[in-house]
């Protein structure tokens, strides 16, 4: 059975594929069976999930105000045509 087991080092490289639903059913089961028995990898998976969650709260830069104003002017022009 050891020939089929994932190591932790391998698992951390497919975690993105796992979360995106990109693994086959068999690979997915191998991944999940590993996480059940390995607290280190269970924590790692949690950490990646939290990383995504925290990234979702980050605010991003906006378009320059003058560009926005110009665009709105262009929209008004188009409307008049």
Partner 1 sequence: MDTVDSSYVPPPGQAAIVDALKRGDEHTFSDLVTEYSPSMLRVARTYVSSRAVAEEVVQEAWLGVISGIGRFEGRASLKTWIFRIVTNIAKTRGEREGRSVPFSSVGGREGEGEAAVDPNRFLDSGRWAGHWTSAPSRWSELPEEQLVGDETAGIVKAAIAALPEVQRTVITLRDVEGWSSEEVRNALDLSETNQRVILHRARSKVRNALEEYLDGEQT
Partner 2 sequence: MIAWKFLAPGAMGPFSRVTWPTPTGDAPGTWVEAQVHPCTSGIHACEVSDLPYWLHAELWEIELDGPVSRAGHKIVAPRGRLLRRIEAWDRNSMIAFCQACTVRIREVAARSEGAAEYLVDLEADAHRSAAATVGYIAAHAIGVVDGAEAAECERAAQAGFLSNRLGLDVAGR
Rounded CA-CA distance 30/24 in Å is: 10
Cα dihedral sign, 50-47-62-76: negative
| Residue number with CB closer to partner 1 (1 or 64) | 64
Q: Do 35 and 45 meet the contact criterion of CB atoms below 8 Å apart?
A: yes
Select the residue interacting with partner 1 from 9, 24, 25, 26 (CB under 8 A).
9
Task: Kindly compute the dihedral angle of the four CA atoms of residues 53, 7, 31, 25, in this order, to the nearest 10 degrees.
Answer: 130
Binder to partner 1 among 29, 33, 36, 47 (CB under 8 A)?
A: 47
Residues that bind partner 1 (CB under 8 A): 7-10, 12-13, 15-17, 20, 22, 38-41, 43-44, 46-48, 50-52, 54-58, 60-64, 67-68, 70-72, 74-76, 78-79
Residues that bind partner 2 (CB under 8 A): 1-2, 5, 21-22, 25-26, 29, 32-33, 35-39
């Amino acid at each position: 059975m050891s020939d089929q087991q994932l190591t932790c080092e391998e698992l951390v490289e497919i975690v993105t594929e796992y979360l995106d639903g990109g693994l086959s059913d068999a690979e997915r089961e191998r991944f999940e069976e590993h996480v059940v028995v390995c607290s280190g990898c269970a924590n790692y998976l949690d950490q990646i999930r939290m990383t995504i969650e925290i990234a979702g709260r980050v605010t991003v830069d906006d378009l320059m105000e003058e560009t926005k104003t110009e665009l709105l002017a262009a929209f008004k022009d188009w409307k008049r045509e």
